[in-house]
Amino acid sequence: MNYYPHPAEGLDLKEVNAAIEEAFAEHGRGKVQMPAKLYTYFEHGDFRTMPGYIPSMGMAGVKIVNVHPGNRAYDLPTVMALTVIIDIDTGIPLAILNATKLTDLRTAAAGAVAAKYLSPQRSITLGCVGSGRQAQTQVRAIAEELEITEVLVWSRNSNNAEDFCEINRDLECRVSGIERVAGCDVVVTATPSRKPLVMGEWISDGTHINAIGADATGKEELDPAILNRATVIVDDPAQAVHSGEINVPISKALYNEKMIAGTLGEYVLGHKQRKNQDEITVFDSTGLSIQDLAIAKIAISGKDSIDLPFS
């Protein structure tokens, strides 16, 4: 059994996107096992347990990931993760990965795959609602799939938005009002919001939205009017209903899960596709264990590890 303390180092984003795309394709083919993630709740946060198995990749295991919004006080990230990889033939634990950065990368890669298949054009303006680690990683992952002519960013804290543009100075990046950000060709929402931030009247026809922030019951970032006007594509229906962007509107009878257009896997396979240039598409991302397994496969390849006795 080997422990990998820094498996995200040196990963090529294009290669990550390809691995995540393949995981979604296998999901679309119905060739994976992935029970919906389990939540355990603490007073100041929660942790999620995410088992999965991708036979075609020979990868099986479990990611364990927490969300503790108050962790800045401890000088720790809000989200930290560990992935355990299990041998398929014998069940023996093979590898343990520090999966904190891998979680960022695989989530961003899902957004990049969604933008690749759902954006109506190859050259886009990109709007970021939120300027945190995930928004930043989405920009880099999407840049591997589409040409970004301009990035507009909005944050509750304008200093954070300015820092975000400083990091992205190689792209045309500007801090902007949220309405203008929502007017970009592709919009990423990546905040911990528990009420809608992006209003329906700000969204133009033909926009693609990656709705990333809502990943637990009670979280939402989009005006439900957007969901009703848009084609909603989920990563996994059970998880999206429980904890994705659609969870709050469903609980308030403002959205019906029967309106879900399909899964990202179906779009990757070409079983479904954007109908026209004017369609608004929303990718509702909750994060799948099979993404964690797919990135683990390329992350441990040739990487330094610590050998641990297991007997």
Instruction: List residues near its own copies by CB under 8 A.
Output: 3, 5, 33, 35, 38-47, 49, 51-53, 60-62, 64, 66-68, 71, 74, 76, 80, 82, 84, 86, 88-93, 96, 98, 306, 308-311
Quote the least distance from Cβ 43 to its own copies, whole Å.
8
User: How far apart are the C-alpha atoms of 232 and 280, rounded to whole Å?
Assistant: 9
Q: Closest CB to its own copies among 88 and 156? A: 88
Q: For residue 100, report the phi and psi dihedrals to the nearest 5 degrees.
A: -60, -55
> Which residue among 37, 63, 116, 272 is the active-site one?
63
Quote the least distance from Cβ 67 to its own copies, whole Å.
7
Q: Closest CB to its own copies among 37 and 106? A: 37
User: How far apart are the C-alpha atoms of 205 and 114, rounded to whole Å?
Assistant: 17
Q: Closest CB to its own copies among 49 and 217? A: 49
Query: Could you give the 3-state DSSP secondary structure of residue 258?
Result: helix
User: How far apart are the C-alpha atoms of 6 and 304, rounded to whole Å?
Assistant: 8
Give 77's contacts (C-beta < 8 A, 6+ positions apart): 71, 100, 133
Beta strands in the chain (DSSP E): 2-4, 38-41, 46-54, 59-67, 79-86, 93-98, 123-129, 147-154, 173-175, 186-189, 194-198, 208-211, 220-222, 231-234, 262-263, 281-284, 306-307
Quote the least distance from Cβ 246 to its own copies, whole Å.
22
Beta bridge pairs of residue 41: 46
Quote the least distance from Cβ 275 to its own copies, whole Å.
36
Quote the least distance from Cβ 198 to its own copies, whole Å.
28
Q: Closest CB to its own copies among 223 and 292? A: 292
Quote the least distance from Cβ 33 to its own copies, whole Å.
5
Q: Closest CB to its own copies among 2 and 160? A: 2
Active site residue 275: no
Q: What residue type is 223 in one-letter code?
A: D
Residues 140, 14 contacting (CB under 8 angstroms):
no
Q: Closest CB to its own copies among 25 and 60? A: 60
| Residue showing tokens 């133009």 | 204
Q: How many CB atoms lie within 10 A of CB 249?
A: 22
Long-range CB contacts (within 8 A, 24+) of 252-256:
252/224, 254/224, 254/227, 254/228, 255/224, 255/227, 255/228
Q: Which residues are catalytic?
A: 63
